[in-house]
């Protein structure tokens, strides 16, 4: 069998050659970390000690093939390696679902913050959460791990996305208290309406016209159903908010991720729906990308 490891010098030369073909250094180093198990720290060590061995879990030839497909066909690296780190998780990824984004990690922190509210209802031991539009199951996995005594529900319209979510939930949680439901937003959860204490959703929110102008990496490889939010991008937010006052428990929280310029509109929709305590939250760049509100107590 071909040995994967090589000298540091060989690796550094190879890396320079790949970058001359195109692409970003940060992405190539991500590929080295995810596919060849070569950490950023190890790469720095090899720069100082190029004569030492570069411990690679994958051959340079195989890495080169993946890099070429990424450059030529604009295939996301996450699809090529089938995995994606997200929060403290190593998620399985496929073209069936959106690649979970870094900013969405914050939705979990904001959700757990809501439960620290002094008027939150008995959350420490038990409750019911839902993840509407679960995709890969990233948010559902994080909630199931953070709230092991709660019952959880992950919903998606796409059967293929739900299959991926099932793989991630099975692999990354020990809880057996989650269920998957195929259907539209609250519809498959009707028998629990009025009982949801915490609901998160990162719905498709990109206006149709903008979807067509996205980078081919996104537009041609991520499910359109995960991206397109209708003419103004807010169709899914409206659908979710329309039934939220019935579906949430008294005092129950709803957290939505939205597009960079939709904060005022989503907060307005929350108030029109009759939810209270609405507030915006920002991503790590300071952009208001999240809206939070609750059903009155
Ligand atoms: C932006 S992706 C979010 C995926 C995942 N929650 C995340 O944050 O990475 C939106 C998801 O909503 C799903 N979706 C679209 N329309 C839906 C609907 N009417 N009901 C339920 N899910 C829907 C899509 O299939 C997709 O998985």
How many A from CA of 17 to the centre of ligand 1? Answer: 39
- Sign (positive/negative) of CA torsion 153, 154, 157, 163? negative
Supply the pLDDT for residue 176: 84
Query: Do residues 201 and 256 make contact, with C-beta atoms less than 8 angstroms apart?
Result: yes
How many A from CA of 132 to the centre of ligand 1? Answer: 7
Per-residue pLDDT of 202-212, as tens digits, reads 999 999 999 99
* Residue nearest atom 6 in ligand 1 by C-alpha distance: 134
Nearest to 248 by CA among 136, 110, 153, 137: 153
Atom of ligand 1 nearest to the CA of 187: 20
With a 6 A CB cut-off, is 257 part of the ligand 1 pocket? no
pLDDT bin (cut points 50, 70, 90) of residue 58 is very high
Helix, strand or coil for residue 105? helix
With a 6 A CB cut-off, is 226 part of the ligand 1 pocket? yes
20: pLDDT strictly greater than 50 = yes
* Residue nearest atom 26 in ligand 1 by C-alpha distance: 226
Q: Which residues contact 7 (CB under 8 A, 6 or more apart)?
A: 50, 51, 52, 53, 54
Percent share of the chain, pLDDT over 90: 94
In Å, how far are 14, 142, 200, 231, 289 from 112, measured between CA atoms?
A: 44, 10, 11, 32, 17
Atom of ligand 1 nearest to the CA of 140: 6
With a 6 A CB cut-off, is 100 part of the ligand 1 pocket? yes
How many A from CA of 117 to the centre of ligand 1? Answer: 28
CA–CA separation, 76 vs 136, rounded Å? Answer: 15
Per-residue pLDDT of 90-101, as tens digits, reads 999 999 999 999
Neighbours of 99 (CB within 10 A): 22
Per-residue pLDDT of 215-233, as tens digits, reads 999 999 999 999 999 999 9
How many A from CA of 137 to the centre of ligand 1? Answer: 10
Q: How many residues does the chain have?
A: 297
* Residue nearest atom 13 in ligand 1 by C-alpha distance: 133
Per-residue pLDDT of 155-202, as tens digits, reads 999 999 999 999 999 999 998 899 999 999 999 999 999 999 999 999
Beta-sheet strand order (sheet of 196-201)? 178-182, 151-156, 128-132, 196-201, 248-257, 288-294, 276-282
Helix, strand or coil for residue 67? helix
Q: Report the DSSP beta bridge partners of residue 198.
A: 129, 253
In Å, how far are 44, 49, 56, 156, 269 from 11, measured between CA atoms?
A: 12, 12, 9, 43, 53
Mutational pocket test of ligand 1: of 78, 129, 135, the residue with most ligand atoms within 8 Å of the beta carbon: 135
Supply the pLDDT for residue 1: 45
Q: Show the CA angle centred on residue 294, arms to residues 132 and 286, nearest 5°.
A: 75
150: pLDDT strictly greater than 50 = yes
Instruction: Output 266-275 pairs: Cβ under 8 A, ≥24 positions apart.
Output: 266/234, 266/237, 266/291, 267/291, 267/293, 269/234, 269/237, 269/238, 269/241, 270/241, 272/241, 273/241, 273/242, 273/244, 273/245, 274/245, 275/241, 275/244, 275/245, 275/248
Nearest to 6 by CA among 63, 43, 55: 55
């Amino acid at each position: 069998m071909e040995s994967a490891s090589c000298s540091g010098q060989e690796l550094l030369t190879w890396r320079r050659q790949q970058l001359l073909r195109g692409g970003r250094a940060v992405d190539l180093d991500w590929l080295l970390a995810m596919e060849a198990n070569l950490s950023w720290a190890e790469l720095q060590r090899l720069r100082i000690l190029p004569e030492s061995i570069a411990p690679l879990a994958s051959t340079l030839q195989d890495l080169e093939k993946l890099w070429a497909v990424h450059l030529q066909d604009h295939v996301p690296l996450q699809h090529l390696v089938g995995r994606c780190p997200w929060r403290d998780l190593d998620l399985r990824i496929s073209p069936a679902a959106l690649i979970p984004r870094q900013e969405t990690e914050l939705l979990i922190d904001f959700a757990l913050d809501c439960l620290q509210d002094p008027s939150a209802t008995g959350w420490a031991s038990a409750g019911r959460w839902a993840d509407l539009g679960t995709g890969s199951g990233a948010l559902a996995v994080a909630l199931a791990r953070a709230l092991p005594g709660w019952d959880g529900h992950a919903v998606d319209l796409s059967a293929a996305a739900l299959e991926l979510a099932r793989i991630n939930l099975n692999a990354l949680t020990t809880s057996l208290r989650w269920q998957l439901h195929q259907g539209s937003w609250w519809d498959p959860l009707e028998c629990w309406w009025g009982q949801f204490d915490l609901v998160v959703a990162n719905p498709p929110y990109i206006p149709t016209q903008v979807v067509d102008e996205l980078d081919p990496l996104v537009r041609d490889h991520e499910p359109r159903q995960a991206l397109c939010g209708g003419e103004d991008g807010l169709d899914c937010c409206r659908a979710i908010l329309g039934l939220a006052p019935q579906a949430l428990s008294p005092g129950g929280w709803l957290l939505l991720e939205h597009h960079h310029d939709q904060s005022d509109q989503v907060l307005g929709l929350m108030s029109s729906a009759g939810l209270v305590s609405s507030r915006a939250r920002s991503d790590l760049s300071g952009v208001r990308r999240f809206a939070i509100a609750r059903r009155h107590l």
